[in-house]
Structure 1
């Protein structure tokens, strides 16, 4: 790889939950400073993810984290909001990128060559690194939701549509952090709470 070739790995976290922003990260790894143990963030313990996230921030040539808001998710739809978060993450990278490798089968709209790789977070180190930064950022945002809305149990369900979360939604109604375009939240709003 020539020293002028910079390849960013890109991944997202938080597409499925009923609440909170969707996050994306872009990472350009430094071949001179390899990071041991990079893999799909879902296959790592929370403690290991945090350790690796710190290494990624310290040892990468470039990295960035971006998000799309609940309002953007509800107005655009979750796929388009995810693409927007990915686009923002890539555009914040401060080195001239040659190629962007994106986890999955869709790439954001960019003026840079893009390659989509299904299960890229398991096969491409830079995508795995991006998945770790996106996931740890989303996890931190979920804990902020828990602090803001302690009765909802965000520390337990992380915003996903678990039985506990749905029960709290029925009892307490949606917060401003809930995605009203997602069916379980929308249905509650349409019916009104008992």
Structure 2
């Protein structure tokens, strides 16, 4: 099942326009930033097949990313760094990245639909939707943009810190990644407040 534009259509009919979907990627990894995206889709040109990025193959994500980039009225992408995550905790860093993504939109929204149950405080009205990335087209688009963007960021970090294999696991705590941390210690892109780094190394 793919996401649909029904919720957006209802909101637009109520005068809530422009409308952005917001989602984040990267709450769980041991390294790298948390990345959020905000997308204002064109109601006349909604790409077909939008879905939660986790339900899509990398190739399909890339295809949809290109379609979103071509057709969306506005896209905002932002992140919170590993150091910011350590300083303010992952929840606050996620909300910060979402606020930054919305602020980066060239078309300021009147209404925002956010995946999950914990929306950021914004200047406009916002509604959180649990599982929204698999139900609501604008959120699904944001999920795809955030995922493709973060994966590319982690691939670049892999060239800088090749010992950890970031391009293979995007910073998640796989056995290979944990073994690399034990062998080499953490790098500056690791989250020192997350186990297994927490209590062993300090930033």
Same fold? TM cut 0.5: yes
Structure 1: runs of 5 or more not aligned: none
- Given the alignment, which residue of 5, 8, 25 partners 1:13? 25
Q: Within the alignment, does 1:122 sit opposite 2:134 as a pair?
A: yes
- Given the alignment, which residue of 6, 25, 45 partners 2:37? 25
Q: Within the alignment, does 1:45 sit opposite 2:53 as a pair?
A: no
Q: Within the alignment, does 1:169 sit opposite 2:186 as a pair?
A: no
Q: Secondary structure at the match of 1:177?
A: coil
Question: In the TM superposition, what are the counterparts of 1:149-164 in structure 2 within 5 Å?
Answer: 149-164=161-176
Alignment TM-score, normalising by the size of structure 2: 0.90
Moved more, 168-177 or 89-98: 89-98
Shift of 1:155: 2.2
2:72 counterpart residue number: 60
Structure 2: runs of 5 or more not aligned: 1-11
- Given the alignment, which residue of 194, 199, 202 partners 1:182? 194
2:5 counterpart residue number: none
Q: Is the 8 A contact 1:173 1:188 kept in 2?
A: no
Q: Is the 8 A contact 1:8 1:126 kept in 2?
A: yes
Cα RMSD of the aligned pairs, angstroms, is 1.3
Separation of aligned partners in 2, 1:96 and 1:133: 18
2:6 counterpart residue number: none
Structure 1 stretches of 4+ moved >2 Å = 1-4
